[in-house]
Amino acid sequence: MMSLNKVSINTALPGKSRARILIIYTGGTFGMNYDREGVLVPFDFPYILEQLPTLKNLALEITAVSFEHPIDSSNVNIEHWQLIGKIIYDEYEQHDGFVVLHGTDTMAFTASALSFMLEGLSKPVVITGAQLPISEPRSDARENLITALDIASAKQEGMPLVPEVCIFFDYELLRGNRSKKVESMQFDAFDSGNYPPLATAGVKIDYNFSVIRSAPRSMKLELRDAFETNVVILKLFPGLNRQVVNAILTTPNLKAVVLETYGSGNAPTLSWLIEELKLAIERGVILLNISQCPGGRVLQGRYETSKRLQQIGVISGADMTTEAAVTKLMLLLGQYGPERTRDLIGLSLAGELTS
């Protein structure tokens, strides 16, 4: 288990009962600064407090835990997901909401993974970050963090307004497992093409309650954190050759493939491609069809170019993102094995797909 550092930020007003929020700082652009060679590297959480003194003026009880060695999100792996999930699980009863500070590059993968890991979640887990370091004058880090804290603490009649894993970025709150990073040079880094925003932050925060998940009837949180790593993504493109496809599909111990197809789930009708996919399925490999398009859904059988996929046993991923598909496959395979995964992969477990 990786080491953690813990910081308490007493912002509660004397004699007042305030929401208790846990900030989990993993690293990322949010808290970066320039080293001696002029390269951006992640810094420890106390550095963020120096840059954001207004954090202490919020009427909240805030505790922050940070990775002992904050990381660039390009280095995020399953071990980090497991650590974040365990922190939330261990601190669940002591806090009303959680804010995860995370780099943008793999944020959608982490959000998707946590949504499947935290079964029975009934409190907000808001993931946010920044496109510019908090030390920069024009940084988006301050607004993103302050609003994320507001959302994580928001309640109505004693119940959290957003009891799910979500991403807040550039004035929009998105369902975590519906999100994708779509921009690296603008502040609006994330989009959820197949699902509307859960809230929009302006002068006030407007919540779209009709699309926010209801808290589960069972309030008991369960942590699922066993992952199967023998999962790959195979993206189709004109000119893809058989040797490459065969090398991927015959990878030793391969358990599942996210097949990124065209449009509404279409693939070339090349006989060798269908044969390679069919042989993989016969070997027990799960093939999940996900569209390369940021919006829309897979409709296997609508066109001739997807009908053959349906006939050989490729499973439709409906309108799941690639990030949700990969993390869902890894978790289901790790928790339940291939047979149960085939039964569950097409079902909406955390709002990740439209039935």
Residue type, 44: D
Both structure tokens of 93:
């009863």
Locate 133 and state its tokens: 């370091």
d(C-alpha 7, C-alpha 24), whole Å? 10
Distance between CA 253 and CA 242 in Å, rounded?
Answer: 20
Name the token pair of 37: 């060679």
First to last CA, the chain: 38
Q: Is 81 helix (H, G, I), strand (E, B) or coil?
A: helix
CA distances from 132 to 25, 82, 265 (A): 16, 27, 36
Distance CA 98, CA 165 (A): 9
- In angstroms, the CA 28 to CA 6 distance is 18
What's the rounded Cα separation, in Å, for the pair 345 and 11?
43
Q: What are phi and psi of 310, to 5 degrees?
A: -60, -40
Tally: H helices and E strands in the chain: 9, 21
Q: How far is 270 from 300, CA to CA, in rounded Å? A: 17
- One of 29, 261, 322, 327 is an active-site residue; which one? 29
Q: Which residues pair with 21 in a beta bridge?
A: 62, 97
Indicate left, alpha or beta for 27 from its phi (over 0: left) and psi (-120 to 50: alpha).
left
Instruction: List Cβ neighbours of 14 (8 Å cut-off, separation of 6 or more).
Output: none
How large is the angle between the packed helices 322-336 and 107-117, nearest 10 degrees?
Answer: 40
Is residue 104 part of the annotated active site? The answer reads: no
d(CA 251, CA 255): 9
Catalytic residues: 29
